[in-house]
Structure 1
Amino acid sequence: MIKERSAKRLVAALLLLSVIPLAAGVFRLISLIGGAEMTPDNARFFEMPLPVVLHILSAGVYAILGPFQFAPGFRRRKPGWHHAAGRVLVLCGLMVGLTGLWMTLFYPIPYGGKLLFALRLLFGLAMVVSILLGFTAILRRDVNRHRAWMTRGYAIGLGAGTQALTEMAGTAIFGPPGDLSKALYMGTGWVINLAVAEWAIRRGYSRHDSKKQQDKRNLGL
């Protein structure tokens, strides 16, 4: 029962963390559809809207469906849903990562400088690789590695939610960010998410090993 409540809290927390980037994505779509005034900050989206539209739509699905994959009780009760949603999430996650890389390489981003450019490339590529490794792991029936790599991929994908918090905190403490601080706030968001993901992965392995040892003791091995 405690695990079930913990899983529900985890799903709620992940969905809550997605609220700010999802709201920003919806606002961006509305501005593109409604023909908002073009400015130096948004001109790149109007000149080539397809990558950002695909990025926002796929990120929305990824952020909303993703948390339910981490609820063990939900997976057990609805294995068919878990498998079907997993296929959708692989496609959406790859779309998020690949469109993010494309926008980094070909959109003129008017803030963040070279450090943010490098961080976007690094974490975008890491997200794509994590999802591919997770997908190939489940094809080999390696459930533990599948969960680990998918957790890492989701943590990177959810970076925008944590970055909103790190930037708000940094701005409140140090004032409006410059290029360096903007890059550091965003990088910190990704690092925090990955650190939490690694902690959860190691904790899961530890529990799995403890259960195996307990089963051996029960069998007298």
Structure 2
Amino acid sequence: MTDRIATRRDRAGRTVAALIGLSLIPVLAGGIRMAELTGGAAVTADNARFFASPLPIVLHIAGVTVYTVLGAFQFVPRLRRRKPGWHRIAGRLLAPSGLVAAFSGLWMTVFYALPEHDGPLLAAFRLGFGTAMAVSIGLGLAAIRRRDFTAHRAWMIRGYAIGLGAGTQALTQALHHLVAGPPDELARALLLGAAWVINLLVAEWVIWKRPVRFSS
């Protein structure tokens, strides 16, 4: 029994470490972007849209940072069982942070000018997955209000998987760079879309493979 508990703790620790590792990619990218906006960086074709309308990108960075980093600790069963109050308090921060990240991302997709290396297909992916993230969080909140803990967990995991997409996207693009060089517009869109799909497939596996019963 002791060995089994230790194994579970090790697995939870590895899971949190992996999720935070993926989270650090968008968090560091967001930090660099914030440094540009606040440090008087030169305005270029790549960042002009952010200088022209900084509020959406600032909200997006803040929302993603809280959602992805804090959200990683919701995957620790021991915390849920032993400190249900912590789980609820964290959830009250995570849900609005996730919605801010999703809606600010949708706003930027619709109203910011498309960067040179992006295209309509990637914009469609961002609209689709951003909407799915917001809907997943909304359904998760609705489920917990009716005390359907199983549905709440499933929808929140799906929303988190989409929110963590930027981390996986960095990996899919890096792999393409190593194998075939820089991607063109179509390849970039497919690589970013594939990362969201990968995350959702992993989420469905977690939902199916490791059900968790909540006592409160």
TM-score range normalised by the length of the shorter chain: over 0.9
Gaps of 5+ in 2: none
In structure 2, what is the equivalent of residue 16 of structure 1? 21
Task: Tell me the CA shift for residue 171 of structure 1.
Answer: 1.4
Which one of the candidate residues 136, 141, 158 is aligned to 1:135?
Answer: 141
1:204 shift after superposition: 2.4
Letter in 2 for 1:131: I
Count of equivalent residues: 207
Partner of 1:75: 80
CA distance in 1 between partners of 2:38 and 2:207 (Å): 41
Counterpart AA for 2:141 = F
Of 50-59 and 73-82, the range deviating more from structure 2: 73-82
Q: Which runs of 5+ in 1 are unaligned?
A: 209-221
Separation in 1, partners of 2:142, 2:210: 20
The match for 1:43 is: 48
Paired with 2:114 and 2:77, the residues of 1 have a C-alpha distance of: 40
Inter-partner Cα distance in structure 2 for 1:163 and 1:29: 20
**What does residue range 190-209 of structure 1 map to in structure 2 within 5 Å?**
190-205=196-211
Partner Cα distance (2:142, 2:9) in 1: 29
Q: Which residue of 1 aligns with 2:152?
A: 146
Q: Which one of the candidate residues 158, 166, 185 is aligned to 1:160? A: 166
Give the residue type in structure 2 aligned to 1:192: I
* Counterpart position of 1:114: 120
Greater mean alpha carbon deviation, residues 68-77 or residues 44-53: 68-77
Match of 1:86 in 2: 91
TM-score by length of 1: 0.91
Q: Which 4+ runs in 1 deviate beyond 6 A?
A: none
Q: Distance in 2 between matches of 1:72 and 1:116?
A: 36
Structure 1 residue 112, shift from structure 2 partner: 2.1
Task: Show the counterpart of 1:31.
Answer: 36
CA RMSD of aligned residues (A): 1.1
1:177 is paired with a residue of what secondary structure? coil
| Greater C-alpha radius of gyration | 1
- Cα deviations across residues 151-177 of structure 1 (Å, max 9, x unaligned)? 000000000000000001011111111
SS of the equivalent of 1:18 reads helix
1:177 — aligned with what?
A: 183
Q: Deviations for 1:13-57, whole angstroms, at most 9, x for unmatched residues?
A: 100111111110000001100010000111000000000000001
Once residues 97 and 114 of structure 2 are traced to their aligned partners in structure 1, the CA distance between those partners, rounded to angstroms, is: 23
Same amino acid, percent of matched pairs: 57
Question: Does structure 1 conserve the Cα–Cα contact (< 8 Å) formed by 2:79 and 2:86?
Answer: no
Instruction: Output the amino acid matched with 2:73.
Output: F
TM-score if structure 2 supplies the norm length?
Answer: 0.93
Which of 125, 136, 159 matches 2:131?
Answer: 125
